[in-house]
Amino acid sequence: MYKTLNAPHVLQVEISSLCPNRCQHCYNFWRKSGGTDSSASLSLDQATRIMDQIIANQVFHIVLTGGEPLLNKSVLFHMLDMASKGKVTTAVNSTLISLTEDDANRFKELGVSVVLTSILGPTAESHNEIAQQKMAFERTIEGIRILQKAGVHVAVNMVVSKRNQHLIRETANMVKSLELKGFNCTRAGCPGNCLDFSEFSLDLGEFRSYLEELHSFGVEENMKVDVLSAYPLCGIKEVNKYQGFTTRRCMAGVNTLAISASGEVRPCTHLDMSYGNLLTENLQDVWKKMSEWRDGSLIPETCKVCKVLPWCGGGCRMEAKMRKGAISNPDPYASPADVDYVHTLIKSRKRVVTPTPSLVRLNPKIRWRKESFGAAVFVGTRFACYLNQEGFRLVQELPSNTDLSTTDLAKKFSSVQEGFMSGLIERKVLVKV
């Protein structure tokens, strides 16, 4: 189903499995099980060995997470420093509990692109009840202020379950009052150690209500809203109204993976399935062992024949495993009865054509990595596109730091796929001068 890349684009590294919070919905599979990973933290030596592999394999971007990465500060800043020197962009996921002004300033110095934190309700009472930690809300809010003061980009995600679904709008308003640009809101996924998540999981009706609440808040308040997980399109149903929520797709084992605090390599942070250990094995060898995530064998049978699959991908495999009994079962929010409707909506989408600027430049934040078919291209912290061999050759030939006439480029690009130049502009490989 998917081509095999030379290595993942993005890695999430859980540098400590410890966390000050005890969130009721926490997706860390070791959290309540007392499993072997429950007290693991990477050492400096282990972190160095992992970073050496990340840099050698030209991984574009890493997210340092946990548990709580600030509980392993020396390793956190060591990895950020190595990444910065190795031209790997970084982000941090944190509760912000124990964040200091010095930490925030170091994030800024080391070029951390964004720090993501969770807000679970609009008040201390609602947040702390779910986080099961006194003062968690107050400390997280203080952490946001510290990051803002240091000029570090901070993003907030509300994890939504039955416990706090009624608080989405209040929470979004509170986040807006913090002068944050956006509000992310994501359904709680069933943890890998949980036999019954029914008191937290939204049902399909609640799931769609949550999407509507989030969308309408964004429209009414003119605030950017997003979801941070991949939902099946037939579950979303109104895919054009909520088009912004349809761009994510499970790419576990396809272009991303997770590394635990003991070096275990998993397709995604939510999953408890290890395919090897980066402290004893080569990343490329472990990556090859994850082929079942790329060959379609984990895609549900009903999705394999679905005409929407190329846009969808089948939703979350962890949700299927934990709530539907098998990893290759349908995502619990899948609604096959709505597939025809969704397909009609997708086919009715019109591409927005933006005027071509007269002058462009090659984006100075461009990075690429050779692949068997051509190249994978990133712009800043974000995936831009895949290029075939000829497309890659053309882009490589473009001079950097030089104004380029789009008229001249059109002549140079005379033997290319239709829309190639406009696609490069749309994907910010070329930027308007």
| Longest alpha-carbon distance in the chain | 64
Which residue, among 306, 313, 293, has the nearest Cα to 250 in the 3D structure?
313
C-beta closer to other proteins: residue 86 or 182: 182
Helix (H, G, I), strand (E, B) or coil at 261: coil
Write down the least CB distance from residue 205 to other proteins, Å.
Answer: 23
Half-sphere exposure of 200 (CA within 13 A, CB side): 20
- Distance CA(238)–CA(245), nearest Å, equals 10
C-beta closer to other proteins: residue 18 or 416: 416
C-beta closer to other proteins: residue 247 or 284: 247
Write down the least CB distance from residue 411 to other proteins, Å.
Answer: 13
Write down the least CB distance from residue 307 to other proteins, Å.
Answer: 7
C-beta closer to other proteins: residue 360 or 384: 384
- Distance CA(96)–CA(70), nearest Å, equals 8
Write down the least CB distance from residue 192 to other proteins, Å.
Answer: 15
C-beta closer to other proteins: residue 22 or 304: 304
Q: Kindly give the pairing relationship between strand 265-266 and strand 404-405.
A: unpaired
Write down the least CB distance from residue 204 to other proteins, Å.
Answer: 20
C-beta closer to other proteins: residue 194 or 258: 258
Length of the chain: 433
Write down the least CB distance from residue 62 to other proteins, Å.
Answer: 11
Rounded to 5 degrees, what are φ and ψ at 420? Answer: -65, -50
**CA distances in angstroms from 243 to 162, 236, 254, 346, listed in the order given:** 24, 10, 23, 10
C-beta closer to other proteins: residue 31 or 61: 61
Write down the least CB distance from residue 363 to other proteins, Å.
Answer: 8
Cβ(20)–Cβ(98) below 8 Å: yes
C-beta closer to other proteins: residue 128 or 174: 174
Which residue, among 127, 131, 96, has the nearest Cα to 112 in the 3D structure?
96
DSSP of 318-337: HHHHHHHSSTTSPPTT--GG
- Distance CA(231)–CA(249), nearest Å, equals 7
Write down the least CB distance from residue 112 to other proteins, Å.
Answer: 8
| Token pair belonging to 79 | 């990895």
C-beta closer to other proteins: residue 255 or 274: 255
One-letter amino acid for residue 152 of the chain: V
Write down the least CB distance from residue 31 to other proteins, Å.
Answer: 17
Write down the least CB distance from residue 123 to other proteins, Å.
Answer: 23
C-beta closer to other proteins: residue 228 or 279: 228
- Distance CA(59)–CA(256), nearest Å, equals 9
- Distance CA(160)–CA(170), nearest Å, equals 13
Write a three-state SS string for 146-206: HHHHHCCCEEEEEEECCCCHHHHHHHHHHHHHCCCCEEEEEECCCCCCCCCCCCCCCCHHH
Mention every residue, 6+ apart, whose C-beta is less than 8 A from residue 150: 101, 104, 105, 107, 108
C-beta closer to other proteins: residue 12 or 46: 12
Write down the least CB distance from residue 82 to other proteins, Å.
Answer: 19
